Amino acid sequence: MRHLFALISGVLILASCSSSRIDSAIDYHAKAAPYVKIGMSEESFVALMEPAMQTSKKERSPTRFSRGDDMYVVHYIRVSRVPDKLTTDDEYQPYTFENGRLKAVGWEYLGGAKYTSQDLRQREASADKTNVNVEVNNDSSGNGNEWFKPYCPPSKYPIYGCPPPDQR
């Protein structure tokens, strides 16, 4: 019993440490964000935002891509937490660097957030509920046992214990 209590206590402590790390990273970003300026170097940005990036890098690593001769790096910083057990775009602030210089802050430059908590909740709420109708095979199969009648779903392939497909 003592071991179980110790295990549960350890899990709770780790969970609270993770939550407090995320919250402290969000708080740090709020304090440091006013010092971020368009045109600043990526090295300066990383040095400034290092405490906020520690948590974000574990959850979402930077994106790197190129367009023509330009190289882009997008750093994602955690700026909020939505209590839905999902990690979505609306919880991050993207910082886009072009050739090592800060080009844009926010999702608009990248074409908008793709996955937001609100969109996922609306999608889940509007998901169609599927009703399944089950047909019971009432033919005389079952090898003489009137209580055993196998279910034979519609299929173009033979199913063991069912009549051939063309006789169903």
Distance between CA atoms of 93 and 95, rounded to whole angstroms?
Answer: 7
Check residues 38 and 159 and name the one with the higher pLDDT: 38
Distance between CA atoms of 100 and 103, rounded to whole angstroms?
Answer: 9
23 and 80 Cβ atoms separated by less than 8 Å: no
Least confident of 4-18, 82-96, 107-121, 142-156: 4-18
Q: What is the pLDDT of residue 46?
A: 92
Q: What is the pLDDT of residue 7?
A: 39
pLDDT, tens only, 9-60: 443 344 444 567 888 888 999 999 999 999 999 999 999 998 888 766 667 8
- Distances from the Cα of 65 to the Cα of 57, 76, 99, 109, 110, angstroms: 17, 14, 11, 14, 12
pLDDT, tens only, 93-139: 999 999 999 999 998 888 888 877 777 777 776 665 556 666 555 55
Q: What is the pLDDT of residue 134?
A: 60
